[in-house]
Chains A and B, each alone.
Chain A
Amino acid sequence: EPEVTQTPSHQVTQMGQEVILRCVPISNHLYFYWYRQILGQKVEFLVSFYNNEISEKSEIFDDQFSVERPDGSNFTLKIRSTKLEDSAMYFCASSEANIQYFGAGTRLSVL
Protein backbone atom coordinates (compact mmCIF):
# COMPACT_ATOMS: atom_id res chain seq x y z
CA GLU A 1 0.00 0.00 0.00
CA PRO A 2 1.39 3.43 -0.90
CA GLU A 3 2.63 5.43 2.05
CA VAL A 4 4.21 8.74 2.94
CA THR A 5 7.80 8.32 4.06
CA GLN A 6 9.81 10.78 6.11
CA THR A 7 13.52 10.96 6.77
CA PRO A 8 15.27 11.08 9.12
CA SER A 9 13.14 9.63 11.90
CA HIS A 10 15.12 11.65 14.45
CA GLN A 11 17.24 14.74 13.87
CA VAL A 12 19.37 16.37 16.52
CA THR A 13 20.75 19.82 15.83
CA GLN A 14 22.34 22.76 17.58
CA MET A 15 20.42 25.98 18.03
CA GLY A 16 21.03 28.31 15.11
CA GLN A 17 21.72 25.52 12.63
CA GLU A 18 19.72 24.90 9.49
CA VAL A 19 17.79 21.66 9.14
CA ILE A 20 16.00 20.08 6.21
CA LEU A 21 13.29 17.55 6.86
CA ARG A 22 12.47 15.31 3.94
CA CYS A 23 9.27 13.68 2.83
CA VAL A 24 8.30 11.47 -0.08
CA PRO A 25 4.55 11.87 -0.59
CA ILE A 26 2.32 9.28 -2.24
CA SER A 27 3.15 9.43 -5.93
CA ASN A 28 -0.11 10.57 -7.53
CA HIS A 29 -0.99 13.08 -4.82
CA LEU A 30 -1.08 16.77 -5.62
CA TYR A 31 -1.52 18.40 -2.21
CA PHE A 32 1.20 18.40 0.41
CA TYR A 33 1.27 19.52 4.02
CA TRP A 34 3.49 19.95 7.03
CA TYR A 35 2.24 19.74 10.60
CA ARG A 36 4.06 19.60 13.89
CA GLN A 37 3.37 18.46 17.41
CA ILE A 38 5.27 19.97 20.31
CA LEU A 39 5.44 17.52 23.17
CA GLY A 40 2.22 17.57 25.17
CA GLN A 41 0.41 19.80 22.70
CA LYS A 42 -1.98 19.30 19.80
CA VAL A 43 -0.86 18.57 16.27
CA GLU A 44 -0.81 21.97 14.54
CA PHE A 45 -0.86 22.95 10.89
CA LEU A 46 2.18 24.66 9.40
CA VAL A 47 1.74 24.91 5.64
CA SER A 48 -0.01 23.47 2.62
CA PHE A 49 1.48 23.30 -0.87
CA TYR A 50 -0.14 22.83 -4.25
CA ASN A 51 0.96 23.38 -7.82
CA ASN A 52 4.47 24.32 -6.71
CA GLU A 53 3.42 27.07 -4.38
CA ILE A 54 2.23 27.61 -0.84
CA SER A 55 -1.57 27.60 -0.70
CA GLU A 56 -1.95 28.34 3.00
CA LYS A 57 0.34 28.86 5.98
CA SER A 58 -0.11 29.38 9.69
CA GLU A 59 1.38 32.20 11.75
CA ILE A 60 3.96 29.70 12.99
CA PHE A 61 5.33 29.43 9.47
CA ASP A 62 7.45 32.58 9.52
CA ASP A 63 10.48 33.58 7.45
CA GLN A 64 12.59 30.93 9.18
CA PHE A 65 10.58 28.22 7.45
CA SER A 66 10.43 27.31 3.78
CA VAL A 67 9.10 24.41 1.74
CA GLU A 68 10.20 23.07 -1.58
CA ARG A 69 9.40 20.33 -4.00
CA PRO A 70 12.84 20.06 -5.61
CA ASP A 71 11.94 17.17 -7.91
CA GLY A 72 8.96 15.04 -8.76
CA SER A 73 9.08 12.98 -5.60
CA ASN A 74 10.47 14.89 -2.61
CA PHE A 75 8.84 17.55 -0.46
CA THR A 76 11.08 19.31 2.05
CA LEU A 77 10.70 21.59 5.04
CA LYS A 78 13.67 23.80 5.82
CA ILE A 79 14.17 25.64 9.08
CA ARG A 80 16.83 28.26 8.49
CA SER A 81 18.07 28.94 12.01
CA THR A 82 16.61 26.55 14.54
CA LYS A 83 15.44 27.68 17.97
CA LEU A 84 14.90 25.59 21.07
CA GLU A 85 11.14 25.98 20.62
CA ASP A 86 11.33 24.32 17.20
CA SER A 87 11.83 20.99 18.97
CA ALA A 88 8.82 18.93 17.96
CA MET A 89 7.61 16.01 15.89
CA TYR A 90 7.15 17.15 12.31
CA PHE A 91 4.64 15.35 10.11
CA CYS A 92 4.33 15.44 6.37
CA ALA A 93 1.01 14.58 4.71
CA SER A 94 -0.24 14.30 1.16
CA SER A 95 -3.65 14.01 -0.42
CA GLU A 96 -5.43 13.81 -3.74
CA ALA A 97 -8.82 14.68 -2.28
CA ASN A 98 -10.28 14.91 1.21
CA ILE A 99 -8.17 12.30 3.02
CA GLN A 100 -4.70 13.35 4.15
CA TYR A 101 -2.20 10.53 4.51
CA PHE A 102 0.50 11.09 7.08
CA GLY A 103 4.08 9.96 7.43
CA ALA A 104 5.42 8.62 10.72
CA GLY A 105 7.12 11.93 11.47
CA THR A 106 10.59 13.30 12.12
CA ARG A 107 11.45 14.10 15.71
CA LEU A 108 13.52 17.28 15.74
CA SER A 109 15.55 17.95 18.86
CA VAL A 110 17.20 21.38 19.08
CA LEU A 111 19.92 21.58 21.71
Chain B
Amino acid sequence: ILNVEQSPQSLHVQEGDSTNFTCSFPSSNFYALHWYRWETAKSPEALFVMTLNGDEKKKGRISATLNTKEGYSYLYIKGSQPEDSATYLCASSTSWGKLQFGAGTQVVVTP
Protein backbone atom coordinates (compact mmCIF):
# COMPACT_ATOMS: atom_id res chain seq x y z
CA ILE B 1 0.00 0.00 0.00
CA LEU B 2 1.41 3.38 -1.03
CA ASN B 3 -1.53 5.59 -0.13
CA VAL B 4 -3.79 6.03 2.85
CA GLU B 5 -7.16 4.48 2.07
CA GLN B 6 -10.36 4.66 4.07
CA SER B 7 -13.48 2.54 3.80
CA PRO B 8 -16.30 2.80 3.48
CA GLN B 9 -16.53 6.19 1.78
CA SER B 10 -19.78 6.87 3.63
CA LEU B 11 -22.16 5.13 5.96
CA HIS B 12 -25.55 5.76 7.47
CA VAL B 13 -26.12 4.71 11.05
CA GLN B 14 -29.27 4.63 13.11
CA GLU B 15 -29.08 6.55 16.37
CA GLY B 16 -28.00 4.23 19.15
CA ASP B 17 -26.25 1.75 16.85
CA SER B 18 -22.51 1.20 16.96
CA THR B 19 -20.30 1.34 13.90
CA ASN B 20 -16.72 1.11 12.80
CA PHE B 21 -14.63 1.89 9.76
CA THR B 22 -11.13 1.33 8.50
CA CYS B 23 -8.00 3.19 7.57
CA SER B 24 -5.19 1.41 5.68
CA PHE B 25 -1.79 3.01 5.48
CA PRO B 26 1.74 2.22 4.30
CA SER B 27 3.39 0.15 7.04
CA SER B 28 6.94 0.89 5.92
CA ASN B 29 8.62 3.88 7.63
CA PHE B 30 5.53 4.32 9.77
CA TYR B 31 5.71 6.91 12.55
CA ALA B 32 2.17 7.84 13.63
CA LEU B 33 -1.49 7.47 12.70
CA HIS B 34 -3.85 10.39 13.24
CA TRP B 35 -7.64 10.47 13.36
CA TYR B 36 -9.58 13.68 12.84
CA ARG B 37 -13.27 14.49 13.04
CA TRP B 38 -14.35 17.10 10.53
CA GLU B 39 -17.67 18.87 10.37
CA THR B 40 -18.46 21.05 7.36
CA ALA B 41 -17.22 24.64 7.67
CA LYS B 42 -15.32 23.83 10.87
CA SER B 43 -11.73 22.98 11.66
CA PRO B 44 -10.79 19.30 11.57
CA GLU B 45 -10.67 18.24 15.21
CA ALA B 46 -7.87 15.97 16.36
CA LEU B 47 -9.23 12.81 17.97
CA PHE B 48 -6.24 10.50 18.39
CA VAL B 49 -2.59 10.12 17.56
CA MET B 50 -1.27 6.58 17.81
CA THR B 51 2.27 5.35 17.32
CA LEU B 52 2.64 1.88 18.83
CA ASN B 53 1.45 -1.41 17.39
CA GLY B 54 -1.55 -2.57 19.40
CA ASP B 55 -2.29 0.94 20.65
CA GLU B 56 -5.89 1.56 21.67
CA LYS B 57 -7.20 5.02 22.42
CA LYS B 58 -10.59 6.11 23.70
CA LYS B 59 -12.41 9.43 23.89
CA GLY B 60 -15.94 9.13 25.20
CA ARG B 61 -17.87 6.81 22.88
CA ILE B 62 -15.18 6.88 20.20
CA SER B 63 -12.19 4.56 20.24
CA ALA B 64 -9.45 3.53 17.85
CA THR B 65 -7.03 0.66 17.42
CA LEU B 66 -3.77 0.42 15.53
CA ASN B 67 -1.99 -2.43 13.77
CA THR B 68 1.30 -1.15 12.38
CA LYS B 69 2.51 -4.52 11.11
CA GLU B 70 -0.36 -4.94 8.69
CA GLY B 71 -0.99 -1.22 8.25
CA TYR B 72 -4.53 -0.62 9.41
CA SER B 73 -6.50 1.23 12.06
CA TYR B 74 -10.14 0.94 13.07
CA LEU B 75 -12.27 3.71 14.48
CA TYR B 76 -15.30 2.68 16.53
CA ILE B 77 -18.31 4.74 17.53
CA LYS B 78 -20.42 3.18 20.25
CA GLY B 79 -24.08 4.15 20.56
CA SER B 80 -24.01 6.70 17.71
CA GLN B 81 -25.65 10.06 18.27
CA PRO B 82 -26.69 12.67 15.67
CA GLU B 83 -23.81 14.87 16.83
CA ASP B 84 -21.39 12.15 15.68
CA SER B 85 -22.33 12.99 12.09
CA ALA B 86 -19.14 14.19 10.44
CA THR B 87 -16.36 13.12 8.11
CA TYR B 88 -13.68 11.11 9.87
CA LEU B 89 -10.23 11.54 8.37
CA CYS B 90 -7.19 9.42 9.05
CA ALA B 91 -3.66 10.43 8.20
CA SER B 92 -0.32 8.70 8.53
CA SER B 93 3.08 10.24 8.98
CA THR B 94 6.61 8.90 8.56
CA SER B 95 8.03 11.48 10.96
CA TRP B 96 6.96 14.62 12.75
CA GLY B 97 5.42 16.80 10.14
CA LYS B 98 3.83 15.94 6.83
CA LEU B 99 0.53 14.09 7.13
CA GLN B 100 -0.72 11.87 4.32
CA PHE B 101 -4.51 11.83 4.42
CA GLY B 102 -7.14 9.36 3.37
CA ALA B 103 -10.27 10.52 1.61
CA GLY B 104 -12.38 10.22 4.75
CA THR B 105 -15.43 8.29 5.86
CA GLN B 106 -18.59 10.36 5.98
CA VAL B 107 -20.85 9.26 8.82
CA VAL B 108 -24.51 10.24 8.93
CA VAL B 109 -26.41 9.35 12.09
CA THR B 110 -30.16 9.47 11.72
CA PRO B 111 -32.51 9.80 14.71
B49–A98 CB distance below 8 A = yes
**B interface list, Cβ under 8 A from A:** 4, 32, 34, 36, 41-44, 46, 49, 51, 89, 91, 96-104
Known: A42-B102, A104-B41. Is A99-B46 also a contact (CB below 8 A)? Answer: yes
From B36, B89, B97, contact of A31 by CB (8 A): B97
A-B contact count (CB 8 A): 53
Is B97 within 8 A of A104, CB to CB?
Answer: no
CB contact between B97 and one of A4, A55, A91, A99 (< 8 Å): that residue: A55
Q: When the two chains form their complex, are residues B101 and A42 in contact, meaning their CB atoms are under 8 A apart?
A: yes
Q: How many residues of A contact B (CB 8 A)?
A: 25
What are the residues of chain B within 8 A of A97 when measuring CB–CB?
96
| A44 pairs with B101, CB closer than 8 A | yes
**Nearest CB on B from A89, distance (A):** 10
Partner of B98, one of A42, A48, A102: A48
Residue of B at shortest CB range from A49? B97
Contact B102 A100 (CB under 8 A): no
User: Closest CB of chain B to A90's CB: distance in Å?
Assistant: 13
Is B97 within 8 A of A42, CB to CB? Answer: no
Known contacts A56-B97, A56-B98, A104-B41; A43 and B49 CB within 8 A of each other:
no
Q: A4-B43, A104-B43 are in contact. Are A43 and B97 (CB under 8 A)?
A: no
Instruction: Evaluate contact between B96 and A102: CB separation under 8 angstroms.
Output: no
- Contacts A31-B96, A98-B32 known; A43 to B101 CB distance under 8 Å? yes
Residues of chain B contacted by A25 (CB below 8 angstroms): none
Report 23 cross-chain contacts, Cβ distance below 8 Å, ordered by A residue.
A4-B43, A31-B96, A31-B97, A33-B98, A33-B99, A41-B103, A42-B102, A43-B91, A44-B101, A45-B98, A45-B99, A48-B97, A56-B97, A56-B98, A58-B98, A97-B96, A98-B49, A99-B46, A100-B46, A100-B99, A102-B36, A102-B44, A104-B41
